[in-house]
Amino acid sequence: MRERRVVVIAAIAMGVAVALALAGLPLYVFPSHPAVARADLVYVIGPPTPARVADAQKLLDEGVASHLLVSVGGGMPASTVPECARPDVTCATPEPFTTKGEVALLQAYARDHAAQSVVVLTFTPHVARTRYIFGRCYAGDVTVVPVEERLDFGQWVYQYLYQSTAFVKAWLLPCAEPMSAVPTPVATAG
């Protein structure tokens, strides 16, 4: 009888795990890839990884926008991002260094630079939550584009757990207070 109970509990746990994994596929693994239209700004959030910066540069080269805003911080200094020295790039650290802080940074930037349409680049598991937070906290037109970055199985498991928990936090907590101004850029050439 006890063995049967253990088997039933294990089967239920496995079923729940599979159901959660399947439910997360469209959110974390295969988010929609929207068409990217002309915008006032391209914005790289999270750490400015080489893949995100390269995709942003491609959008600039295609004429999607003429300026790039890059969120730097979290232990990644702007000096490690060569693009931060260019005149068409502004690099700044949001306060706090979270997705909601990145919205607050964008609000301050948009106020000073009349940027109402923005293409936001982040890595694939973060897209759904980014769309939710920017949709809730930013009044402008935002298109969130996934950037493919290689993750191993353990990283995917971590992202499922982290993003799911962070969704709950985003739902429960208010948006970050708008910044009064863009913080002094950590690096800019213009």
Q: What is the pLDDT along the chain (190 residues), one digit of tens a residue?
A: 778 787 767 767 676 666 666 666 777 777 788 889 899 999 999 889 999 999 999 999 999 999 999 999 877 777 778 888 899 999 998 988 899 999 999 999 998 888 899 999 999 999 999 999 999 999 999 999 999 899 999 998 899 889 999 989 999 988 888 777 675 555 444 4
Q: What is the pLDDT of residue 95?
A: 86
Instruction: Give residues with Cβ within 8 angstroms of 136, minimum separation 6.
Output: 170, 175
The pLDDT assigned to 190 comes to 43
Distance of CA 140 to the CA centre of its chain: 16
**In degrees rounded to 5, what are phi and psi of residue 7?**
-65, -40
Q: Phi, psi (5° rounding) for residue 122?
A: -150, 170
pLDDT at 30: 74
Cα torsion angle, 179, 184, 185, 189, sign: positive
Buried b / exposed e along 6-27 (16+ C-beta atoms within 10 A): eeeeeeeeeeeeeeeeeebeeb
Q: Residue 101 has what pLDDT?
A: 92
In sequence order, what DSSP letters do the residues of the chain get, joined into one string?
-HHHHHHHHHHHHHHHHHHHHHHHIIIIIS---PPPPP-SEEEE-SS--HHHHHHHHHHHHTTS-S-EEEE-BTTB-GGG-GGGGSTTEEEE--SSSSHHHHHHHHHHHHHHHT--EEEEEEEGGGHHHHHHHHHHH--SEEEEEEE-----HHHHHHHHHHHHHHHHHHHHSPPPPPPSSPPPPSEE--
Q: Which CATH number fits domain 33-188: 2.40.128, 2.30.29, 3.40.50, 3.40.1000?
A: 3.40.50
Report pLDDT for 20: 66
Q: Which residues contact 30 (CB under 8 A, 6 or more apart)?
A: none
